[in-house]
Amino acid sequence: MKNINQKTRAYALKNALAHKGKSNQGAVISALFNEGLKKQDVKTYIEEISKIIQEVNSLSIEEQKKEFEKLENIVSKREIRHGLPELPNVKKSGVIMRFSPSPSGPLHIGHVRTACLSFLYVKKYGGKFYIRIEDTNPENIYKPAYKMIEQESKWLSRGLAKIIIQSKRMAIYYKYAEKLIKKNAAYVCTCSGDKFREYAKKQKNCPCRKLNVKENLLRWKKMLNKKGFKKGEAVLRFKSLEGMKNKNPAMRDFPLARINETPHPLQKNKYRVWPLMNLAVTADDIEMKMTHIIRGKDHRDNAERQKMMYKVLGKKYPWTFFLGRYKFKDLILSTTKTRQAIESGKYSGWDDPKLVTVAALKKKYKPEAFWKFTEQMGLIEADRTLDKKEFFKMLDNFNRDVM
Ligand SMILES: [Zn+2]
C-alpha cells in the first residue's frame, strides 16, 4: 500500500475531529482497508499506525484542524473515488464501458446498480460510458421508453452518458454478418425450428452447415430481399467453435439474425432482417472498443457465445464481471407487470411514489445517493434480497450525506 503513513495520519485526524480530538485505532484501520490495506499486512504496519494515532491524539483540536486542512484532500477524494474495488487491466486512457437496457420499459432500481457500477468506474478512471438502447427486436418495444431511458440515464450520470440506439446502426450489423459469412463462420439455415432443435439434440450438423461461402452469401441476400425468403424460412447461424458437439446445448450453432417484418417503432418497415442480441452486441462491443463489461449473471451463456465470435474475428474479449440479481421482498421489478398495473390503475404512472422506477425515485433523491448506494452494494456475484423499508432508509441516509 502506497503512502500508508500519510493516509493513516489523514484518517486519524479525520476520526479525531469527529470524536472530540481522540482518534480510534479500529476506525482508522477499517478506513485503511477501504484504501487497499490487506488484512495480512496489518501486522507489518500496526506499530507505525499506533504511533501515528498517539501523535494525533496528543495534538490540540486546533492543531488537528490545521493539519487536517492540508491532508483533507487525500481522504475525501479517496473516499468518493475508491469506494469500489479496482478493476484489472486498466489503461492510462481509462476504461470504455456500457449499460445496455432494452426499451421494453423505463429504468428501475435493478438497472440503476448495473448502470451506476459501469458509470462510476468510468468516472473513476476516465474513458467513455455508453447507454446502449438495445432495440433490435421490433416486438418488445415500449416507445415512450426511449425518451425516458435517455433522460433517466443522463440524470443518473450527471450528463456523462453517451446514448446509442441500436436500430440506427443496422449497417454495422449487416457488415458483421457478412464478415462472419465470408470467414466461413456463419451460415444461412433453412431448416425449420423443430428440425434444427432435433439436430442440436442429437449433436448432428444440419445440412446447411456444409454450404460454401458463395452459397451462403446468396442465401443471405435472399434473406434481405423482400421477394426472397419469408419469415421463419431462414436464419443466419453462427458456426460454433466446438460445433454441434459442444457440451453446452446453448452454444450449438446459435442464431445471429432472423426475418421479422413487424413494423419497428422507430424504423417502421425499413428493415426485414434483424440481428439477434449476440450479433448486435458483439459488433457494437468491438466497434466501441469496450474494455470492461459488467452485466447480469443471466448473460453468462451470451458472454460465452460472444467470446467465440470475438475469437473468430481476431479480437480480445473484454474483462467481464457477472452481477448477482436484486430482488425485493415486497416489490415487483418486472417492467411488464408494472406496465399492466399502471394500465389497470393500480399505480398513477411510472413515477408513482410506491414504485422503484427511476422516474419515481428521481423526484426524491439526488443521483449521488444512488452512486453511494451502488458503492455500498459493491461488485458482488451473489443474489440479494432487499427489504423495501431498509432500502429507503439507506437511500434517505445517502441522500442526506450528499445534500
Ligand atoms: Zn439447416
Kindly give the distance from the C-alpha atom of residue 198 to the centroid of ligand 1, in angstroms, as a whole number: 11
Contact (CB, 8 A) for 99 and 120? no
Cell of 117: 457500477
CA atoms of 296 and 111, how far apart (whole Å): 10
Q: Which of 3-17, 139-153, 383-397 has the highest mean pLDDT?
A: 139-153
Q: In which element (H, E) is residue 389 found?
A: helix 388-402
Classified as helix, coil or strand, 96 is strand
Kindly give the distance from the C-alpha atom of residue 186 to the centroid of ligand 1, in angstroms, as a whole number: 12
Kindly give the distance from the C-alpha atom of residue 199 to the centroid of ligand 1, in angstroms, as a whole number: 9
Kindly give the distance from the C-alpha atom of residue 60 to the centroid of ligand 1, in angstroms, as a whole number: 81
Kindly give the distance from the C-alpha atom of residue 168 to the centroid of ligand 1, in angstroms, as a whole number: 30
Kindly give the distance from the C-alpha atom of residue 253 to the centroid of ligand 1, in angstroms, as a whole number: 10
Cell of 142: 415500449
Residues in the chain: 403
Q: How confident is the model at residue 271 (pLDDT cuts 50, 70, 90)?
A: very high
Kindly give the distance from the C-alpha atom of residue 204 to the centroid of ligand 1, in angstroms, as a whole number: 11
Q: Is the pLDDT of residue 185 over 80?
A: yes
Please give the share of the chain, as a percent, with pLDDT higher than 70: 98
pLDDT of residue 3: 83
CA atoms of 257 and 235, how far apart (whole Å): 6
Q: Which burial class, exposed, middle or buried, applies to 320 when counting CB atoms under 10 A from its CB (0-12, 13-18, 19+)?
A: middle
The candidate with the shortest Cα–Cα distance to 276, out of 260, 256, 303, is 256
CA atoms of 173 and 286, how far apart (whole Å): 11
Kindly give the distance from the C-alpha atom of residue 140 to the centroid of ligand 1, in angstroms, as a whole number: 27
What are the tens digits of pLDDT across the range 192-221? Answer: 999 999 999 999 999 999 999 999 999 999
Nearby residues of 250 by Cβ (< 8 Å), 6 or more positions away: 301, 304, 305
Kindly give the distance from the C-alpha atom of residue 206 to the centroid of ligand 1, in angstroms, as a whole number: 5
Kindly give the distance from the C-alpha atom of residue 403 to the centroid of ligand 1, in angstroms, as a whole number: 60
How, if at all, do strands 127-133 and 95-99 pair?
parallel
CA atoms of 342 and 399, how far apart (whole Å): 28
Kindly give the distance from the C-alpha atom of residue 193 to the centroid of ligand 1, in angstroms, as a whole number: 9
Mean of pLDDT values over 262-285? 98
pTM of the shown model: 0.79
Kindly give the distance from the C-alpha atom of residue 388 to the centroid of ligand 1, in angstroms, as a whole number: 49
The candidate with the shortest Cα–Cα distance to 159, out of 400, 371, 367, is 367
Kindly give the distance from the C-alpha atom of residue 296 to the centroid of ligand 1, in angstroms, as a whole number: 31
Kindly give the distance from the C-alpha atom of residue 237 to the centroid of ligand 1, in angstroms, as a whole number: 9
Half-sphere exposure of residue 201: CA atoms within 13 angstroms, side-chain side: 6
Q: Over the chain, what is the mean pLDDT?
A: 92
Cell of 74: 487525500
Kindly give the distance from the C-alpha atom of residue 191 to the centroid of ligand 1, in angstroms, as a whole number: 4
Strand order in the sheet with 273-275: 186-189, 235-238, 255-259, 273-275
Lowest model confidence (mean pLDDT) among 16-20, 203-207, 326-330: 326-330
Kindly give the distance from the C-alpha atom of residue 196 to the centroid of ligand 1, in angstroms, as a whole number: 6
